[in-house]
Amino acid sequence: MKHLQYIAKFTSILLFFAMIQSCYKLVEVDPPINAVVSNEIFGDNLSASSVVTGIYTDMSQGIFAGRNSLTTIFSVSADELTSVAKPDDFLSIAFTNSLTTSDGGIWPNLFDFIFRINAAIEGIQGSKSLSSRTASQLLGECKFLRAYMYFYLVNTYGDVPLLTSTDLKYNFTAPRVDKKLVFENIISDLKESQLLLDESYLTANLLNTTSDRVRPNKACATALLARTYLYMKNYAEAITAASMVIENPLYKIEGLDSVFLRESKEAIWQLQPVQASSNTLEAQVFVLYSNDGLPAGPNDEVRPLYISKSLYNSFPDEDKRKTKWIDSVTVDNRVYPFPYKYKIWMLGEPVIEYLTMLRLAELYLIRAEAKANLGILEGGASAGYDINVIRRRAGLPDFLSTNRGDVIEEVLTQRRLELFTEFGHRWFDLKRTERIDDVMGTAAVEKGGTWAPYKSLFPIPISDITRNPSLRGHQNPGYPIQ
């Protein structure tokens, strides 16, 4: 009976979000019905928790995971992955840096998530039935998720509409706002999340602690805050936030073989696989072996990607990441290296790998870069100390220079080697350090495309410009103005 009750509740949640999604495409909604459904779903702790769990479920199999994920899109846009997808495939278009306004890309997917998150926030805040602990945790999770979505939107498109409610009339006419204001809202959401979220990782019912790190905790908000401060060049705050996570006993740098496992102590936030009998979609897309274990090579349908010559050759031969996190197959006398951070691609295997969204190594590199920019270059608390935590794990000798320029260059090198094919770090690093034109001026030609500075921002989809009058005439420079 309890199982049937749970199914009924979950079904009502799905129907609620189906209605919300359909309402998103309309200007008129019926507030009384919305209010009744929202009150029902957010009427008890378990149902409310299931609503937010549904967001994680969809993240695990949509724009955040698999063939057309943020990772693959940004990695082919930069110089990390080579695509063999068909010419009209979105990955092929991104690979040749030839996006057009007809390519939906990332914009609609992230705004769909933001609308759902805003609906959940309003439901949680409007509920009088939730326990204070449940309301606090869920509200903290939603504020963290909204900040996470906006981080990718603002760094992909620049100025974007800032939507913090489900007011459809406003949302359909919302103008782009200066990216500085978007970053400030990200900071605000994350600071509120820090206050609301639990220190520990909680189970789905929010009643018990767990070793699984799939529901965000306070450290998740702090880690994303450190990254955001770095991007804003607020280096002192980046150091403070990064240090809070680094010094937290929950986390430690793991051996290379353990970083992306479910039980990894390096993981700060992970997404649990949701497809039956499978580990991560990343492994299914990247690993170039067939289900019988034979070399398969890249193909345009399922596995259209392999590591670029530029990325592969950037690893020193003695770097253990080159052998632990990269594998290769030989097909028709041609060698194809591929990302091998996630290794379990076959179905039916025990689920031991979770998709890692935030991890400790990034925090060391954030702190190192911030210290270098502030001139903290010598002693045990120097940028070099943090760099060497990462280098030693990779089997590399210590970096000894205290020259500021050399240190910053080494941080960026280690970011490339450490964080490759993880949610666009390389693409964003090139942009924020103003190196993208130099790098992509060469890389784009090697990929069979061309480069122009305006391509560092993706185009706003024409469908959204047509629907929202406030976006008309406000396309990113370089693309056709509609």
pLDDT tens digit string along 283-305?
999 999 988 888 988 988 889 99
Our count of domains for the chain comes to 1
The two tokens of residue 30 are 């019926």
Q: pTM of the prediction?
A: 0.92
What distance in Å separates the CA atoms of residue 158 and residue 312, rounded to the nearest whole number? 30
Q: Does 55 fall in a domain?
A: yes
Q: Does 341 fall in a domain?
A: no
Q: Does 110 fall in a domain?
A: yes
Q: Report residue 39's pLDDT band, with 50, 70 and 90 as the boundaries.
A: low
Q: Report residue 6's pLDDT band, with 50, 70 and 90 as the boundaries.
A: very low
* pLDDT single digits (tens) 123-180: 999 999 999 999 999 999 999 999 999 999 999 999 999 999 999 999 999 999 999 9
Q: Does 168 fall in a domain?
A: yes
| Helix (H), strand (E), coil (C) string for 64-105 | CCCCCCHHHHHHHHCCCEEECCCCCCHHHHHHCCCCCCCCCC
Q: Does 202 fall in a domain?
A: no
| CB-CB neighbours of 86 under 10 Å | 11
Q: Does 48 fall in a domain?
A: yes
Q: Does 133 fall in a domain?
A: yes
* pLDDT single digits (tens) 56-81: 999 998 899 999 999 999 999 999 99
Q: Does 363 fall in a domain?
A: no
Q: What CATH number is attached to the domain comprising 125? A: 1.25.40.890
**Residue 99's closest CA among 82, 80, 62, 74?**
74
Domain holding 153, by residue range, is 1-63+106-197
**Rg of the chain over all Cα atoms, to the nearest angstrom:** 22
